[in-house]
Amino acid sequence: MSADFLPYINLRPLDITPAQIYLDSIEVARTVFPNFDLRPGTIEDAMFQAFAYMSALNIGAINRLPDSLMLGIGKMLGTPYADGTRATMDVQFTANSNDGATIPIGTMVAYTPISDTGELNASYVFETNEIHTINANNPGDALPTGTVACTVRDLGVMPSIPTGTILTLLSFSQELYSATSAGNFVQGQNAETIDEFLIRSTANLASMSSALATATQLKNYILVSNPALVSRCKVYDLTDPDGDLLLADGDVAGKIAVFAYGPKRNLTDAEKTTIKNDIQDKSVAGLEIGIKNPFLLNFRIVATLSYYSNLDSTTVSELVKQNLLTNFSPETSQASEEKLRYNTVLRAIHALPSVYSVDSLAITTQYSGMTITGAAKSGNNVVYTSNNHLFSIGDLVAVTAITPGTLNTTTPTAVIARTANTFTLVNAGASGTYNSGGTSTGSSPYWGNVSGSDIDYSYKGSLLNLQPEKISLTLNSIEF
């Protein structure tokens, strides 16, 4: 049986608060002086409170010593520690004159976001990754610019930075006038906490067996053995990896389906083959194991919120969207049950202090009634114009009522590309030139039945994958 040292990671339940130490100290003093009366505001009272506070700090530190011991044991047993990554983005620098400029490597700029309480947060400092020269232009022209890739100094997740955000130049240069974000923002990843590491260490111990035989053993082994490659893993016993993979399917003896997801991406076929060969060698003879990409589930959120009037509505909206996208991404969304719960979405919105109330909320996987204003054949595809449409890549969309009808797609077809105002469908049989009309309807695939306010998953190995275009917010301010 595998060891389970998780309950012994630390002694935090034995922590004692300063207030409890303070009261116990008075009781001890009264065993010597039965009439001892500690009056608030006296020197004696101040000393008792200070001693109680310092004692509590010492107790807390002692109770956490096992963390370090178990950290060392976990590393000795082969559990690698997962360091965080740094966010990156492109920054556009504007020269101070038409003579151009040279941007040295390590040039620093800062982004200072506004928090959801309306205050300025600490700055995030970015440095240029390479030297860059801004070419001169003619006098009288707009000041020349150049774009350079930059990396933030601190590891971990930070607020996303929209394109065009004004940044502060920290490195002094007479040649540079200003800096703004230029897109391609890639979010960093937090380093795992000691608790997360110790949980993985326990999983590593649980996977240490001469032969992997259960879904739990396989899952633990894959996650522990591939910390930089696999961020999420779901394993199903008695499941044919080449079958329908529906949750309602019956058991299939001798077969196991593994669903693995990398950091913000699906694994390549070569990566899946490498993992499969590794676990196949360690598995009980006769087991048939297959590794698949997870089914990514998109959905729409429509909400009306009330927020405090002393805050900026745009800032509140961006904070709510960012929180929702983080909570319902494949890397962080819940995976303990095969269901999207209404209350889970509600809690994610309420989590921000700037949100006073959620006045209405709806979650759906069906989208209809979007107007088509153009369609153009391009090879075997058709690019449809529909301003501010809701469709994401992978959604199944049908298009009707276009003249000529040869540009319609009445059979729901997966979106293969999108912009804010266009989406592209494969339609090799389409022909003609767009004249007028058109309505689109669609849905996000892989969902099951609606259960009251909740929505069931349909397939094993499903992970939530909310996209920005699926979030629609209406904000109402209230007096603070």
Of the listed ranges 44-53, 86-95, 254-263, the one predicted with least confidence: 44-53
Average pLDDT over residues 424-431: 94
Structure-token pair, residue 220: 């633990």
- Is the pLDDT assigned to residue 224 strictly greater than 60? yes
**Integer Cα distance of 39 and 28 in angstroms:** 16
**Integer Cα distance of 449 and 454 in angstroms:** 9
Locus of tokens 């504007």: 94
Query: What is the reported pLDDT for 437?
Result: 95
Average pLDDT over residues 142-165: 90
pLDDT range class, residue 275, cuts 50, 70, 90: very high
pLDDT tens profile 53-106: 898 888 877 766 666 667 777 777 777 777 778 999 999 999 999 999 999 999
The pTM of the full predicted model, rounded to 2 decimals, is 0.67
> Where do runs of H (alpha helix) occur along 328-420?
342-350
- Is the pLDDT assigned to residue 430 strictly greater than 60? yes
**Of 228, 218, 150, which is closest to residue 189 (Cα–Cα)?**
228
- Is the pLDDT assigned to residue 119 strictly greater than 70? no
**Integer Cα distance of 468 and 472 in angstroms:** 9
Average pLDDT over residues 444-468: 95
Query: What is the reported pLDDT for 309?
Result: 83
pLDDT range class, residue 259, cuts 50, 70, 90: very high
Query: What is the reported pLDDT for 1?
Result: 41
Of the listed ranges 47-61, 231-245, 266-280, the one predicted with least confidence: 47-61
Distance of CA 378 to the CA centre of its chain: 35
The answer to whether 179 and 93 are in contact (CB under 8 A) is yes
**Integer Cα distance of 295 and 358 in angstroms:** 30
The larger pLDDT score, comparing residue 468 to residue 80, is at: 468
**Integer Cα distance of 104 and 133 in angstroms:** 9
Residues 467, 468, 469, 475, CA torsion sign: positive
Average pLDDT over residues 223-237: 88
Average pLDDT over residues 19-32: 84
The larger pLDDT score, comparing residue 336 to residue 454, is at: 454
- Is the pLDDT assigned to residue 120 strictly greater than 60? no
- Is the pLDDT assigned to residue 448 strictly greater than 70? yes
Instruction: Write phi, then psi, for 330 (nearest 5 degrees).
Output: -60, -30
pLDDT tens profile 173-221: 889 999 999 988 988 877 777 777 777 777 777 666 666 777 888 888 8
Q: Which residues are CB-neighbours of 300 under 8 A, at least 6 positions away? A: 363, 364, 365, 367, 390, 444, 470, 471, 472
pLDDT tens profile 289-335: 999 999 999 999 999 999 988 888 888 898 899 889 988 999 888 87
pLDDT range class, residue 280, cuts 50, 70, 90: confident
In this structure, which amino acid lies at residue 436? S
Residues 215, 220, 223, 224, CA torsion sign: negative
Query: What is the reported pLDDT for 378?
Result: 92
Average pLDDT over residues 263-268: 90
Distance of CA 177 to the CA centre of its chain: 35
pLDDT range class, residue 2, cuts 50, 70, 90: very low
Buried b (16+ CB within 10 A) or exposed e, 102-122: ebeeebbbbbebbbbeeeeee
What is the overall mean pLDDT for the chain? 87
Query: What is the reported pLDDT for 211?
Result: 67
Q: Domains plus CATH for the chain?
A: 6-76 (no CATH), 88-181 (no CATH), 211-293 (3.30.300), 297-365+449-478 (no CATH), 366-443 (2.40.30.180)
- Is the pLDDT assigned to residue 338 strictly greater than 80? yes
Query: What is the reported pLDDT for 459?
Result: 97
Pseudo-torsion of CA 267, 270, 276, 279, nearest 10°? -90
- Is the pLDDT assigned to residue 456 strictly greater than 90? yes
**Integer Cα distance of 5 and 3 in angstroms:** 6
